[in-house]
Amino acid sequence: MSKVAASSNRPIYEARVAAATGGVACADSDTGSDLEANGHFSHLKDLLALPGLVCLSLETDAVLQHDEHPDALFGIVSDGIVGIQHVLTDGRRSISHLFLPGDIIDFRYFNKVASNAVCLFPCELVLVDADSLSKLGEDEQEVRSMLGHSLMKHWGFATRHCTDLARKSAVEKLASYIFECQNRNPVRLENVNKGSVHLALRRIDISDYLGLRPETLCRAFAKLKQSKLIAFNDIGYVHILNEDVLRNIADGCSVDKHLNEQRAAS
């Protein structure tokens, strides 16, 4: 369980990285509880304390090569963000799925997807193989059950993301994404400034995730800002000013009506 690379230049996950740098086995203080909170699984600490787990450190844009770790059953994202990226022959890119810290990447059918798992930031992954898993004894069954739940949860994310992509306008997609960040991001810092949501990704990645060009995404941000629904405070964070209206927009309540009202009033 050696570390290949360390440190991250992002401020957001600093606390987590610091904890993880001490080694995964003793990451049961702070990181552990975050992971647990996200995974709804009480035995994650035991799982991470297993001997012989491989801990991967990957740089931004690194592709997760499953063939290099054929024994790995699943991987837990302990830091960074992994995206499932698909590139059309054309060159057009899209990100279809996100794995945030605490999320589990199930490798069992991974090879069936013609896309790559790409690190959108420097990432830390803990790989779990069947052998290590069997050392858990009677808890192994519970881990496998957790795997199933994790999978179902991610199927839900993917399904919801499809509804975002299918019929929503750029502004609606963005509003929906902001709430997705609010719900999924396990980072505790957001509790400090109430209503402040970390956007997790760079603009370009958000636009790939939402099926928009960066320019369009930028204009969507501008519209929400002009309409006084959100404000930018720190870099990478947005402050939700009117959660009700923003949620209506995310749910597809004739966006423009709301936006035009707001903009006319200002």
Partner DNA sequence: CGTGTAATTGAACTATTTCAAATCGAGTGG
Partner DNA sequence: CCACTCGATTTGAAATAGTTCAATTACACG
Chain position carrying tokens 């279809």: 96
The site that binds DNA (CB under 7 A) totals a number of residues, namely 20
Sign of CA dihedral 38, 5, 55, 109: positive
Residue 83 as a binder of DNA (CB under 7 A): the answer is no
User: Which residues from 31-90 bind its own copies, rule CB under 8 A?
Assistant: 84, 86, 88-90
Please say which residue, 48 or 220, places its beta carbon nearer to DNA. Answer: 220
Please say which residue, 203 or 247, places its beta carbon nearer to DNA. Answer: 203
- Separation of alpha carbons 74 and 148, rounded Å: 11
**Out of 43, 69, 153, 203, which residue is the one contacting its own copies (CB under 8 A)?**
153
Q: Which of 116, 107, 57, 59 is nearest to 84 (CA)?
A: 116
User: Which residues from 84-143 bind its own copies, rule CB under 8 A?
Assistant: 84, 86, 88-90, 92-94, 96-97, 106, 108-109, 112-115
Closest distance of CB 157 from DNA, Å? 21
Q: What is the pattern of x (binds DNA, CB under 7 A) and - over residues 196-235? A: ------xxx------xxxxxxxxx-xx------------x
In the list DNA, its own copies, none, the entry touching 171 (Cβ below 5 to 8 angstroms by class) is DNA
